[in-house]
Amino acid sequence: MSLPKRVVTAALIMVTGMLTGQTEELEALFISGNASYADEQYLDAIKSYQDAYALSGQSSLALLFNLGNAYYHLQDFPSALLAYERALTLEPGNPDVLANLQKIVDQSDLERPQYNIAQEFAYTLPVNTWLLLLLIGSAVTTIGGLLAWYAPRLSPIPSLGLYLSVPLMLLAISGLLIWKQDFSRALILIPETDLRVAPTESANTLNTLPNGTWVEVLETHEPYHYIRTPDKQEGWVKDVTIGKVWPKD
């Protein structure tokens, strides 16, 4: 089963709609990627989208969504899975992204990460939203404190503000801390990736990891990452063999 045509078309429209204010070079890369995608030249589309990302230094939902679609059409399910998971960090719960993720799960032996209740709750909002809520809560708390100190006759107003803002701040801090734990999550992208005892090519191999394996990046010693596998085995892999969900952290 292929991706719905309406989803692909919507993605292309979204990408084009986000060009306002970008440089001419970035716009040209988006247009080139869209043209290659429309012509089913998916490798060229991927290169253009990745170049656009490298040029801007930022992600967008549309870019990651279309990048995932291109990988999907090449049957590179791990790379598509990673692109979609990155898209969900920007807009958790996006129905198009979730629908395409489900198609990958149904058509392969790949799985999405398993989350506990606290993580499921925190991931209902993106990091920037939690940060905004924290800033709002902090501002209301500060203003309420100043009013209580300098205008005691208005005490009911700042008291109400504090009752609302303090829980909001605590909730936002919890959401941000849970998201922070997710920053080390990564996916093995290369089949038969060697897990080594040391960050060198000559080091002994502990295990061979299949692509599509979710891991935790504990340390980086370029060009290697020290990772922990789902079965708690730790070792070194080349940085080119994995993709981090948060590549810019």
Q: What is the pLDDT of residues 193-215, one digit of tens each?
A: 999 999 999 999 999 999 999 99
User: What is the DSSP secondary structure assignment for residue 212, as one 8-state letter?
Assistant: T
Angle of CA points 39, 61, 211, to nearest 5°: 75
d(CA 148, CA 145): 5
How far out from the chain centre does Cα 99 lie? 16
The lowest-confidence range among 16-25, 74-83, 147-156 is: 16-25
Which residue bears the tokens 């605590």? 170
What are the two backbone dihedrals, phi and then psi, of residue 193, each rounded to the nearest 5 degrees?
Answer: -80, 125
The lowest-confidence range among 11-15, 91-95, 170-174, 231-235 is: 11-15
Pick from 79, 104, 99, 94: nearest CA to 245: 79
Residue 29: pLDDT band with limits 50, 70, 90: confident
d(CA 215, CA 180): 15
Angle in degrees, 0-180, between the axes of helices 5-17 and 24-38, rounded to the nearest 10: 170
Sheet holding 224-228, edge to edge: 205-209, 193-196, 234-238, 224-228, 214-221, 185-188, 242-244
* For residue 65, pLDDT beyond 60: yes
Per-residue pLDDT, 19: 44
Per-residue pLDDT, 152: 66
- Across the chain, what does the average pLDDT equal? 85
Q: What is the mean pLDDT of residues 217-234?
A: 93
Per-residue pLDDT, 155: 61
Specify whether the CB–CB gap between 227 and 186 falls below 8 A.
Answer: yes
Specify whether the CB–CB gap between 196 and 203 falls below 8 A.
Answer: yes
Q: What percent of the chain has pLDDT over 70?
A: 84
* For residue 144, pLDDT beyond 50: yes
d(CA 210, CA 207): 10
pTM of this structure: 0.82
Residue 156: pLDDT band with limits 50, 70, 90: low
* For residue 15, pLDDT beyond 80: no
Per-residue pLDDT, 174: 94
The amino acid sitting at 118 is: A
Per-residue pLDDT, 139: 87
* For residue 16, pLDDT beyond 70: no
Per-residue pLDDT, 57: 67
